[in-house]
Amino acid sequence: MRIDLADLQLFLCIADAGSITHGAARANLALASASERLRNIEADAGVPLLHRHARGVVTTEAGEALAHHARLILHQRTLLQGELRDFATGARGTLHLYANTAALTEYLPRTLAPWLASRPHLQVDLKERTSVEIVRTIDAGLAEAGIVSDAVEAPGLIRQAVAEDHLVLIAPTGHRLASRRSVAFADILGEPFVGLAASSALHAHLDDHARAAGRTLAPRIRMHTYEGICEMVSHGIGVSVLPLGVARRLRGRHTYRIRPIMDSWSRRRLCLCYRDWSALSAPMQSLLLHLGQGTGGAYRSGP
């Protein structure tokens, strides 16, 4: 059959109106045009679809079958249009977002949740990477956007600060570093250390700075959660480095001291990072607009 969606819509208008004249008006067609299309529909079907009489038309048994399927098809078209519109506006689909450890554990849960809750058909695939890796991935065109630390260089990319993410020392209450007002990262490197899992972006970030100082971190133990790290530090197993927000949040359940780290790279901010706003998908633009509400303007990093 060569019947198209416009033919189905016209047939339903005529069948529901019980009149070719009134059905043509509902379909915004001239009577002659509607009559010609109706004849073509019946010819294509190979069977009469309407009984014509002086007061109008009624559907034949075949016409009832066509009307039934026409309603199903047009309803499915409406559903399809709605789903495609959701994809276009960012309410449906899968969004891939790269973020460092601090963004994944502290920043995103409270900021992403309300945005995602209003989009029940949208999935978000969060990928944990170091800020350096995220910048490289975006620069290579393998990712749309991510959340990185402003401590890393991002030449040619746009960054927008959205939250503070200072790194701090946590130490047992009786530890020698706990009595200081602030500490240098080099002083931490000589101490027994409680690390995060080796697969974490924060672990890789701290390892990079240790190597830059000509040293290495030698954790006594690696934990898979911040809670576990704080528990170990509270029992004197060693010291650790955590985002300030995490250290403050968990201090109510554990006993340790928080001290700022003097190195400039520890005083960092979380930034949205992307190359070209116009090249971002609609879902990503919607998310970044939400995450950037109430923050400062974007700035381009590097030349």
pLDDT at 303: 42
Q: Tell whether 145 and 209 lie within a shared domain.
A: no
Domain assignment present for 200:
yes
CB-CB contact of 249 with 171 (8 Å):
no
Q: Tell whether 257 and 182 lie within a shared domain.
A: yes
Backbone angles phi, psi at 268, to 5 degrees: -115, 165
Q: Compute the average pLDDT of residues 236-257.
A: 92
pLDDT at 167: 92
Asked whether the predicted pLDDT for residue 79 surpasses 80, the reply is: no
Distances (CA, A) of 266 to 72, 92, 216, 263: 60, 37, 17, 6
Domain assignment present for 139:
yes
Q: Look at the pTM and tell me if it is higher than 0.85.
A: no
Asked whether the predicted pLDDT for residue 127 surpasses 60, the reply is: yes
Give the separation between CA 51 and CA 236, rounded to whole angstroms: 91
pLDDT at 291: 92
CATH number of the domain that 111 lies in? 3.40.190.10
**What's the domain range around 57?**
5-88
Q: Tell whether 147 and 294 lie within a shared domain.
A: yes
pLDDT at 302: 46
pLDDT at 78: 76
The mean pLDDT of the chain is 88
Backbone angles phi, psi at 171, to 5 degrees: -140, 150
CB-CB contact of 83 with 92 (8 Å):
yes
Q: Tell whether 249 and 284 lie within a shared domain.
A: no
Q: Tell whether 33 and 18 lie within a shared domain.
A: yes
Domain assignment present for 173:
no
Q: Compute the average pLDDT of residues 13-17.
A: 91
Q: Compute the average pLDDT of residues 270-290.
A: 91
